[in-house]
Amino acid sequence: MRRLIPALVVSLAVLWLPTSWGETVHLDEPGLWERISSYHGVPSASSDGVRVGGVRLARGVTACAPNTLVVGLHGEARRFEAKVGLRDVTSPAVVRFRVWRERELVWESADIVSNTPPTSVSVDLTGARYMTLEMTASRAFYTGWGVWADATLEMNPGKRPTDVAGLSRQLGILTPPPAKAPRINAASVFGVRPGNPVFYRVPVTGEGPLSIEVVGLEKAPGLTFDPNTRRLGGAVARPGDYPLAFRAKNAYGTAEKGFVLKVGDRLALTPPLGWNSWNAFATAIDGEKVRRTAARMESLGLVDHGWAYLTIDDGWQVKAKGTTPADRRAADGTVRSNGRFGDMKALADAVHAHGLKFGIYSSPGPTTCGGYEGSWLHEFQDARTYAQWGVDYLKYDYCSYGQVAYGEGLDRDICPYALMSRALASSGRDIVHSLCQQGRGNVAEWGASIGGHCWRTTPDRFDFWADVVSIMDCHAALWRHAGPGGWNDPDMMLVGKTVWGVRSGFGGTRLTPNEQYTHVSIWAITCAPMMIGCDLEDLDGFTLSLLTNDEVLEVNQDALGAAAAPIDDDGEIRIWAKPMADGSVAAALVNLSPLETEGRFCFVRNGLTGAWRVRDVWRQRELGTFERCFRASVPGHATTLVRLWPVGSAGLAAGLSDVRDNYWRRRIEAHRPLEGDKNFKASSATDCECVHQQRKEQ
């Protein structure tokens, strides 16, 4: 017996050990840390040492604050441990670290300053499905390089954490394959100035050969149509609305769509759709890449889906450094392109030949952000030169203007843009003016009034979920400033392969497939200018499917031009909605949680009465008729985009003007809950119980 007891203890211990010891996983292992949303620099991981506050630690993940990282634990983690602090660098900074156990803050550091020895963190994670690691930077320093050093997750035996994509099913391609029958993808309005050249290619998809006709052309004297190039041209001298119709025919059917050419002083009646070189190539852009991209936009069918602009961003002028004024401008002051671009008129012609409008970039300062020649003191001359070249779009980037600006407010923020708007308007060509000054001086409030057609609302965006969320937060209050002729611009899109993305990502971006659906849906429903930012010569099928969904683009290009507002929340599902010109409502159910979540768009709370027919916009599929609410299970960080049409006597509650009215109620309620407003308030729990009649399959 005496011998038996120790033997029993040993064998019990052997049985017990594997289940209790668990696995130690280092945060710096590949697959866990790469999606850190680090705005100001690329995060890195090291397993051979990192210095924090003068102490050398074995390994760590370093990222520039502010940033966040979601790690999938799936209920299999026990503990997170790390040492935190700032990487030893010369510039001083202050960073605060936080650990969230799902949505609960479980640990927070003090404000940690540079050269402080590491602080230890140890957090129980039992049962948590995910955790979020966060670093925020003190405003005074703006950024700082923080380190999660010697960071480990203790997992249950045989279990491993995942990145955010592993927390939910990921959506694949939802866009149906292209139909053979013709479809006219044009917005139903287009604005031109009286007497200026019209350049408009009718976007039509469907199997060739396709014949396209314009009905009513004779009513617009001066307007021409070339069925081979599918282009409206000529010029219309007399201001007014010219109702036309496009008719497209092929072996599979006929499509017809009404269209109004509005000759007046307003351009960009719907948000510009196009491609911009910056996110794809930065300053490594050249004329050859521009030509090839234009050809790709046509051959991929993007032009036929309505993508109409190709814009060269920074890098086409002559660099200021190491050159003389004579290198940068001709004797008469005409701006020169650099050797990589050659003759700009020839380049514009080449782009136009693919049915695309041609855009370029400059700055109101002496130099662009990349250090190339700007338009300072040459505004009217540059606008005229652009018009001669055949430019249709100008992105005008603040850059060095701060060096030559004087005063504050009006003088600093508004004048340079007002001046260029005047110059473009008198150039003799319709040139869309894109104000790029990262939201300075509340640009959304005055951008349209000084002749801007769109205005960047934030600094540059990168391919991080945190960036997509911050765009949503920023645009939550800006929607009321957008409308035909002037749009809030949240920056170029970050789907596909960009210079910033990771090559191993989904299509080249760090955004998960679900996050990409949210990205594109939000750009579409908020009526953002949509500028493709990826390399079109290296494009995967998934990314192409995101860019060629005609019903999604239709939400963006709707002639009413109403940008969506965030009208309601159902737990972590945020509902954005907007009215459409045909009386329907477009709604996005955005899942802010990394986990699949069921969300409801409650009709009564939001002022919708009766039954509504609902269509899934991405899948282009009818979902049936819903009363009281529409319910959907939305994968983590994804968005369900729907369109709702009132059935019979359904509509908005009496006295409401549009579905966005609930935005204001929410804001008031945030401070003081309203009682008894029948237009909105759910009067009983059953008001949000969905009644759903499945559509009978034909």
| Shortest CB 40 distance to ligand GAL, Å | 14
Three-class DSSP category at 389: helix
By the criterion CB under 6 A, which residues form the site for ligand GAL? 278, 313-314, 368-370, 397, 399, 436, 460
Is 397 assigned a catalytic role?
A: yes
CB nearer to ligand GAL: give 146 or 371: 371
CB nearer to ligand GAL: give 203 or 315: 315
- CB of 365 closer than 8 Å to CB of 402: yes
Ramachandran region of residue 262, left (φ > 0), alpha (ψ -120 to 50) or beta?
A: beta
Which stretches of 78-163 are DSSP H helices?
none
| Shortest CB 559 distance to ligand GAL, Å | 28
CB nearer to ligand GAL: give 399 or 472: 399
Residue reference for tokens 């966040």? 68
CB nearer to ligand GAL: give 77 or 369: 369
| Shortest CB 461 distance to ligand GAL, Å | 9
Three-class DSSP category at 191: strand
The C-alpha angle with vertex 543 and arms to 541 and 549, in degrees rounded to 5, equals: 95
What sign has the CA pseudo-torsion 38, 41, 46, 52? negative
Which stretches of 462-512 are DSSP H helices?
465-475
CB nearer to ligand GAL: give 168 or 279: 279
Residue nearest to ligand GAL (CB): 369
Three-class DSSP category at 233: strand
CA 337 – CA 318 distance, rounded (Å): 6
CB nearer to ligand GAL: give 360 or 369: 369
CA 582 – CA 558 distance, rounded (Å): 9
DSSP character at residue 297: H
| Shortest CB 315 distance to ligand GAL, Å | 8
Is 616 assigned a catalytic role?
A: no
| Shortest CB 317 distance to ligand GAL, Å | 11
| Shortest CB 312 distance to ligand GAL, Å | 10
CB nearer to ligand GAL: give 80 or 396: 396
CB nearer to ligand GAL: give 245 or 282: 282
Tokens coding 677: 């407003």
Give which of 495, 577, 484, 562 is closest to 535, Cα–Cα.
495
| Shortest CB 369 distance to ligand GAL, Å | 3
Tokens coding 317: 């002028």
- Candidate list 88, 460, 658, 687, residue with the active-site label: 460
CA 698 – CA 696 distance, rounded (Å): 6
- Candidate list 397, 489, 558, 570, residue with the active-site label: 397
| Shortest CB 361 distance to ligand GAL, Å | 6
| Shortest CB 349 distance to ligand GAL, Å | 24
Distance, CA of 44 to chain centre = 25
CA 583 – CA 601 distance, rounded (Å): 18
Q: Measured between alpha carbons, how far is residue 434 from residues 189, 431, 457, 533 in Å?
A: 20, 9, 11, 16
In terms of C-beta distances under 8 Å and separation of at least 24 residues, what long-range contacts does 433-438 make, across chains too?
Answer: 433/394, 433/396, 434/272, 434/359, 434/393, 434/394, 434/395, 434/396, 434/489, 434/529, 435/396, 436/395, 436/396, 436/397, 436/398, 436/489, 437/397, 437/398, 437/413, 438/398
Give which of 302, 211, 306 is closest to 252, Cα–Cα.
211
CB nearer to ligand GAL: give 73 or 492: 492
- Catalytic site residues? 397, 460
